[in-house]
């Protein structure tokens, strides 16, 4: 059940307020890129000997995409060490979130009401062919899909809120985009969550 209300500021601009969680879907905000870059520099300095590449993923990485204001970050390291190593290095603001994702850690940081989901995983030669990166890049190249995905997210959030059911329901669209992106690259189709 959705707890909140939809405010329409114009025909194309919506903000979803979820009263019980403070989470909302909002119009793209250029500050998200600035926040990513600041966190990238911070993580890069702390894990200087570990990090191969840091990438901004998720909807906040796609200009003009409606999104929850959560900065998703891939931190690809040369060798994946125990999660405690990264928590200790990064500091008290960072905490591990247990998930069923394989071969990576999800570390969350919340600072001044801004949330960061930091995915630490081992770098491999196919890193830039990961579904999350292919999805981001496809959306950036196909701007007509940005508006379509935004509408899907708003409608689903009205019906399901922004929890697990919301994520589950938008997976069909994400899978379609990942399939197209993988086909463009001559890659076989695969489950979006692998």
We report the CATH number of the domain holding residue 114 as 3.30.460.10
The whole-model pTM stands at 0.87
**Same domain (yes/no): 53, 141:** no
pLDDT at 23: 73
Domain boundary among 103, 124, 145: 124
- Overall domain count for the chain: 2
pLDDT at 12: 34
pLDDT at 22: 60
Q: Kindly list the distances between the CA atom of residue 5 and the CA atoms of 28, 59, 115, 164, in Å, as whole numbers in the listed order.
A: 19, 22, 22, 19
Angle at which helices 83-90 and 31-46 cross, to 10°: 110
Does any domain span residue 1?
Answer: no
| pLDDT block averages, 10 residues each, the chain of length 194 | 32 35 83 97 98 98 96 98 97 94 94 94 97 98 96 92 89 97 97 83
**Same domain (yes/no): 37, 120:** yes
Residue that has been written with the tokens 């935004």 in this structure? 150
pLDDT at 113: 87
**Same domain (yes/no): 118, 136:** no
Does any domain span residue 5?
Answer: no
Residues 6 or more apart whose Cβ sits within 8 Å of residue 140 = 62, 63
Does any domain span residue 169?
Answer: yes
**Same domain (yes/no): 106, 41:** yes
Domain boundary among 67, 91, 124: 124
Domain that holds residue 142: 127-194
pLDDT at 103: 92
């Amino acid at each position: 059940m959705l707890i909140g209300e939809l405010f329409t500021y114009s025909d194309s601009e919506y903000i979803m307020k979820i009263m019980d969680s403070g989470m909302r879907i909002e119009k793209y905000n250029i500050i998200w890129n600035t926040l990513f870059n600041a966190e990238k520099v911070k993580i890069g300095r702390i894990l200087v000997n570990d990090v191969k590449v840091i990438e901004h993923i998720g909807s906040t990485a796609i200009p003009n995409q409606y999104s929850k204001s959560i900065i998703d970050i891939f931190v690809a390291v040369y060798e994946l060490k125990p999660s405690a190593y990264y928590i200790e290095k990064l500091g008290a603001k960072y905490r591990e979130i247990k998930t069923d994702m394989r071969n990576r850690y999800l570390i969350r940081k919340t600072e001044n009401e801004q949330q960061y989901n930091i995915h630490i995983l081992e770098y491999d030669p196919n890193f830039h062919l990961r579904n999350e990166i292919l999805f981001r890049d496809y959306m950036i190249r196909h701007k007509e899909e940005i508006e379509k995905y935004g509408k899907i997210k708003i409608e689903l959030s009205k019906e399901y809120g922004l929890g697990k059911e919301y994520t589950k329901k938008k997976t069909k669209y994400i899978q379609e985009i990942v399939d197209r992106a993988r086909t463009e690259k001559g890659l076989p189709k695969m489950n979006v969550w692998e």
